[in-house]
Amino acid sequence: MAGPRKTKGATAPRAGRAAGLSQLGRTVKAPASPEEALIETVDNPHPGALYLVRFVAPEFTSLCPITGQPDFAHLVIDYAPAKKIIESKSLKLFLGSFRNHGAFHEACTLEIARRLREAARPRWLRIGGYWYPRGGIPIDVFYQTGAPPDGLWLPDQDVPPYRGRG
């Protein structure tokens, strides 16, 4: 079996790290930007099984690239793993790296999808970015890699249309 995989943005782990992961179980400095963030993966314990993994980040933040004002989103990330699964601490650090990152809602949502595709190479991935309104308009951004695999159970993302969303 291959070991953990890392995507661009950080140095290689030191020898002797548990399971080859450089962040899990350790104190690490928060990445200053999404480009510096390291998304780590581990071998899928059930690579032949078709199943869904869901990550929910109800307090995602980034900055408006024009005004510098904070933007808030409720992210729902669903993926069907292939050979690798995404290590959750590295995902949390990656998502947190957007906190001081200026980009439009669409750019943030699609950059997250791109990096997760690169890191884990899932069978299928979708992301729902439910952005809270600024200027009175909520902007929701959705992406998926294609049609979901036959037989994959897809629960609703369960984020209501904006009415004070919360």
64 is catalytic: yes
Task: Report pLDDT for 12.
Answer: 40
71 is catalytic: yes
Q: Which of 43, 64, 78, 108 is catalytic?
A: 64
Q: Does 156 or 134 have the greater pLDDT score?
A: 156
pLDDT, tens digit, 9 for 90 and up, residues 34-93: 999 999 999 999 999 999 999 999 999 999 999 999 999 999 999 999 999 999 999 999
0.95 surpassed by pTM? no
Q: How many CB atoms lie within 10 A of CB 73?
A: 26
Q: How far, in Å, CA of 61 to CA of 104, rounded?
A: 11
Q: Which of 71, 78, 108, 150 is catalytic?
A: 71
Domain positions in the chain are: 5-24+31-144
What is the dotted CATH code of the domain comprising 5-24+31-144? 3.30.1130.10
Q: Does 115 or 24 have the greater pLDDT score?
A: 115
What are the DSSP E strand ranges found in the chain?
A: 5-6, 40-43, 53-63, 70-80, 84-86, 124-131, 140-144
